[in-house]
A and B are shown apart, each in its own frame.
Chain A
Amino acid sequence: MVAWLLARLAAALAIVFTVVTLVFFAIHLAPGTPFLPTGDRPLDPSVEAGLRARFGLDRPLGAQYVRYLGALARGDLGESFSQQRPVALALEEAIPNTVVLATTALAIDLLLGLAIGAVQAAYARRRLDTLLTHTTLFVYSLPTFWLGLVLLLVFGQGLHWFPVGGVVDPVLHQALSPAGRLLDRLRHLALPALTLGLVGAAGTARFQRAALLEALNQGFVKAARAKGLSESRVLLGHALRNALLPTITLMGLALPFLLTGSVVIETVFAWPGMGKLAADAVLSRDYPIVTATTLAATVLVVGGSLIADILYAAADPRVGRERAR
């Protein structure tokens, strides 16, 4: 078990290291100069040479790579062109916002998705199941950012139930009581988290229904039924527990989806997270920010799947032993 864990950890580190290396070479082998002239005139060659020397770009690629790794290890991600401050600072502000948004969305995704999937399996091939099958198929097909815009139009600008963007109210937040501040945050969180969560939940429900129906087909379920257990005990106590195993894997896989979704959703709701940071940086060609968010996203994804693997191994004792055999 310990050996298995160490092997997984090493694999995760190797993946992150490879991505770091690929990103480095992508930056340095890309055509063009990193220094954009501010006006229409091309950059003076002597100025450019000075800048190259200043940032160490005139040294051999190998030396630059070593320096880059050293800087990364110290948490130095470079300087943002458009914000004129270290990238690490910008990321430090953005990552908590994205993590809050993503975890809330993940909670909605899993709770709602599992519930819908269970209801569908319980009413399999009846009218309610068919209705939910069509509904989840539709919701799963919605572009997240467009769903966000529609929710914004209806609940933000139409009904005024929720604010239209940002993390907190820019004017009132400081004046609110602690409870009021929390409420303010939750009200701002509601629409973006719901948008991401709903689309994710539709996918989870589609998967969960299939997994549950398969579990219901198996011998141990027949045995439970033969014992005379009620249908709800069979479904919730026996089938669901087995169908939950693949769901743990889903949890790890949901992270890339949430991060991808966050890039566009954060733009829609002016949510100052990693996604918006990256999207804004692309438009100003601020590549240190873009590459840093890419690395951060990779670390989150690799970490998420590592945690999912560990949970899986904890839930399913067969996993660790296969290797030992």
Chain B
Amino acid sequence: MTALPLLPLAVILACVAATVRLLARRARSAAARRFFASPAAAPGLGLLLFFVALAVLAPLVAPYRPSAQLDIVGLQSRPPSWRFLLGTDLFSRDVFSRLVYGARVSLGIGVLATLVSVTLGAAVGAAAGYFRRATDAVLMRLVDVGLAVPKIFIVLVAVALGRPLGPVPLAVLLGLTGWFTTSRLVRAEVLSIREREFVEAARALGARPWRVIARHVLPGATAVLMVSAALSIANMMLLEAGLSFIGAGVQPPVPSWGNMIADARDLLTTAPWASLFPGLAITAVVLGLHAVSDGLREALDPQARGADPALAAGEPRSRERRLGGWVARR
């Protein structure tokens, strides 16, 4: 067998490298320049694009079907070779093919969960910050409650009460329980934007509240939303991996990077490749997302770059904002 799977990989790598280089060179706007000036942003973006391409082109890249048991007697736990780039697992399945298809599941859950959580977080945060008073009080107390329960336990309760969830319901549940931090960050932003003159002008022209929010207020919170979305995808993927690892996440035979590690765990000493490579894949994507979110923060959030006097003064709102990236993982 030849090094056939290497060919599409090489093509994808070349395309990704070319794209990132082109983007970096063509960067005209100040924000784009600041993004690419951030030390790890370009390689991080490259890593991300590479894995997204793998996920999208999975059938072209993967030499075998992800759940195909090639030879349950002869090809168990084979070390990496030209034929099996990353080796085979206990059930004689090709680890590389599972990794490629697992990218669809793991990335997909991260993205879908983030779509849900960022949408909810933006809506709740905007409502709380814009309407203030009772709306604000009620919504923010709700957020306090949400933040008090570590997310993983909420999912565990759901799984214990019902049955293991499919990938899509799991992603939605992760999204429904993951918007609390985002909503606080958005609220802090909206509180200051709503006092601006252009917002007052829109109100004076008779625009309805939700139109003012959607058209005039939320666009000002784009920076916060983008940074928090990038971080959220990373956190959701880590959470999914952890849940799948303990058997409460994506159920086999559907491959996710987390349950691949779980499957291979008992063979850690005899067939370490089957658990090491999926772990490296998670690390690479999360690293890419963190690097990109660092770059986005530099590019879009001028406050984060210079001195932020409110931070040193310990003013809660601004503390929250700076802590945002940090909190999100918790």
Q: Do B156 and A263 touch across chains, with their CB atoms under 8 A apart?
A: yes
Contact present for A145 and B245 (CB under 8 Å): yes
Chain B at the A interface: SS class: helix
Asked if residues B151 and A146 are in contact (CB atoms below 8 Å), the reply is no
Task: State whether A253 and B287 are in contact (beta carbons under 8 Å apart), knowing that A279-B248, A282-B246 are contacts in the complex.
Answer: no
Does A283 touch B at the CB level, under 8 Å?
Answer: yes
Which A residues touch B308, using CB under 8 A? 214
Interface of A is mostly: helix
From the candidates B144, B149, B159, B239, name the one contacting A11 in the complex (CB within 8 A): B144
- Chain B nearest CB: distance from A272 CB in Å? 15
Cβ 8 A contact of A26, one of B161, B294, B322: B161
0/1 interface trace, chain B 131-156, chain A, CB 8 Å (1 if under): 00000000001001101111111101
In chain B, residues 148-174, which have Cβ atoms closer than 8 Å to a Cβ of chain A?
Answer: 148-154, 156-162
The CA of A287 and the CA of B248, in the complex, are separated in Å by: 13
The stretch of B84-92, B113-121, B198-206, B265-273 in contact with A is B265-273
Is A318 part of the contact surface with B, judged by Cβ < 8 Å?
Answer: yes
For residue A75, give the distance in angstroms from its CB to the closest CB of chain B. Answer: 20
Q: Mark B176-199, 1 if CB is under 8 A from A, else 0.
A: 000000000000000000000000
**Contact at A294–B162, with CB atoms within 8 Å?**
no
* Interface-lining segment among A85-93, A129-137, A174-182, A228-236: A129-137
Contact B40 A282 (CB under 8 A): no
Instruction: Please indicate the chain B residues that have their CB under 8 angstroms from the CB of A257 in the complex.
Output: 329-330
- Which residues of chain A are near B283, meaning CB under 8 Å? 138, 141-143, 146
Q: Which residue of B lies closest to A207 (CB)?
A: B326
B107 within 8 A of A: no
Is B242 positioned at the interface, with any CB of A under 8 Å from its CB? Answer: yes
Q: Is A195 an interface residue (CB 8 A)?
A: no
B-contact bits for A115-143, CB 8 A (1 contact / 0 none): 00000000000000010011001101111
* CB-based contact A15/B276 at 8 Å: no
Contact of A210 among B239, B247, B322, B327 (CB under 8 A): B322
Interchain CB contact under 8 A, B261 and A282: no
| Of A58-66, A147-155, A185-193, the one with at least 4 CB within 8 A of chain B | A147-155
Residues from 204 to 240 in A contacting B, C-beta threshold 8 Å: 206-207, 210-211, 214-215, 217-218
Q: Which residues 266-325 of A sit at the B interface, judged by CB distance below 8 A?
A: 267, 278-279, 281-283, 285-287, 290-291, 293-294, 297-298, 301-302, 305, 312, 316, 318-319
Select one of B148, B268, B287, B329 contacting A153, CB under 8 A: B268
Q: How many residues of A contact B (CB 8 A)?
A: 75
> Would you call B149 and A282 a contact (CB within 8 A)?
no
Q: Give A298 to B144 CA distance when docked, in angstroms.
A: 11
A19 interface residue (CB < 8 Å to B): yes
Cβ–Cβ contact A153 & B327, under 8 A: no
| Cα–Cα, bound, A305→B148 (Å) | 9
- Check B327 against A246 for contact (C-beta < 8 Å): no
B269 in contact with A19 (CB, 8 Å): no
Question: For residue A297, which residues in chain B have a CB less than 8 angstroms away from its CB?
Answer: 149-150, 153
Give the tally of cross-chain contacts (CB within 8 A). 181
Closest-by-CB residue of B relative to A31 is B162
**CB contact under 8 A between A214 and B323, given known A137-B290, A145-B245, A293-B153:** no
A254 to B157, CA, bound (A): 22
Q: B272 contacts A153, CB within 8 Å?
A: yes
Question: In the complex the two chains form, is A250's CB within 8 Å of B326's CB?
Answer: yes
A294 to B156, CA, bound (A): 9
Given A256-B330, A260-B330, A287-B157: A143 touches B149 (CB 8 Å cut-off): no
B209 contacts across to A, CB distance below 8 A: none
Is B314 among interface residues, defined by CB-CB distance under 8 A? yes
**Inside 8 A of A249's CB, which chain B residues have their CB?**
319, 323
Query: Judging by beta carbons under 8 Å apart, are A144 and B242 in contact?
Result: yes
Are the CB atoms of B326 and A141 closer together than 8 Å? no
Q: Is the CB–CB distance between A298 and B40 below 8 Å?
A: no
Please state if B247 and A318 are interface contacts (CB–CB under 8 Å). Answer: no
Q: Can you name the residue of chain A whose Cβ is closest to the Cβ of B269?
A: A157
Is B219 part of the contact surface with A, judged by Cβ < 8 Å?
A: no
In B202-229, which residues have CB < 8 Å from any A CB? none
A99 at the interface (CB under 8 A from B): no
Encode B232-263 as 1/0 by CB contact (under 8 A) with A. Answer: 00100011011001111000000000100100
A23 to B283, CA, bound (A): 34
User: Does A32 sit at the interface, judged by CB under 8 A?
Assistant: yes
- Given that A26-B157, A157-B268, A282-B159 are contacting pairs, would A19 and B149 also be in contact in the complex, using a CB cutoff of 8 Å? yes
CB under 8 Å from chain B, chain A span 26-50: 26-27, 30-32
Whether A264 contacts B246 by the Cβ 8 Å rule is yes
- Asked if B99 lies at the interface with its beta carbon under 8 angstroms from chain A, I say no
Q: Does A197 contact B (CB under 8 A)?
A: no
Query: Chain A, 161-175, contact with B by CB distance < 8 Å: what is the 0/1 string?
Result: 000000000000000
Q: Does B311 contact A (CB under 8 A)?
A: yes
Residues of B within 8 A of A217 (CB): 306-307
23 A-B pairs (CB sep. < 8 Å): A14-B141, A15-B145, A19-B148, A26-B157, A26-B161, A141-B234, A141-B283, A143-B283, A150-B276, A153-B272, A203-B326, A211-B311, A245-B312, A245-B314, A246-B322, A253-B327, A256-B150, A260-B150, A282-B156, A290-B160, A293-B156, A297-B149, A297-B150
CB-based closest 9 A-B pairs: A146-B279, A141-B287, A217-B307, A290-B160, A257-B330, A30-B161, A141-B286, A294-B153, A256-B330
Interface residue ranges, A against B (CB under 8 Å): 11, 14-16, 18-19, 22-23, 26-27, 30-32, 130, 133-134, 137-138, 140-146, 149-150, 152-153, 157, 203, 206-207, 210-211, 214-215, 217-218, 242-243, 245-246, 249-250, 253-254, 256-257, 259-260, 263-264, 267, 278-279, 281-283, 285-287, 290-291, 293-294, 297-298, 301-302, 305, 312, 316, 318-319
Give residues in B with beta carbon < 8 Å to A. Answer: 39-40, 141, 144-145, 147-154, 156-162, 234, 238-239, 241-242, 245-248, 258, 261, 265, 268-269, 272, 275-276, 279, 282-283, 286-287, 290-291, 294, 306-309, 311-314, 319, 322-323, 326-327, 329-330
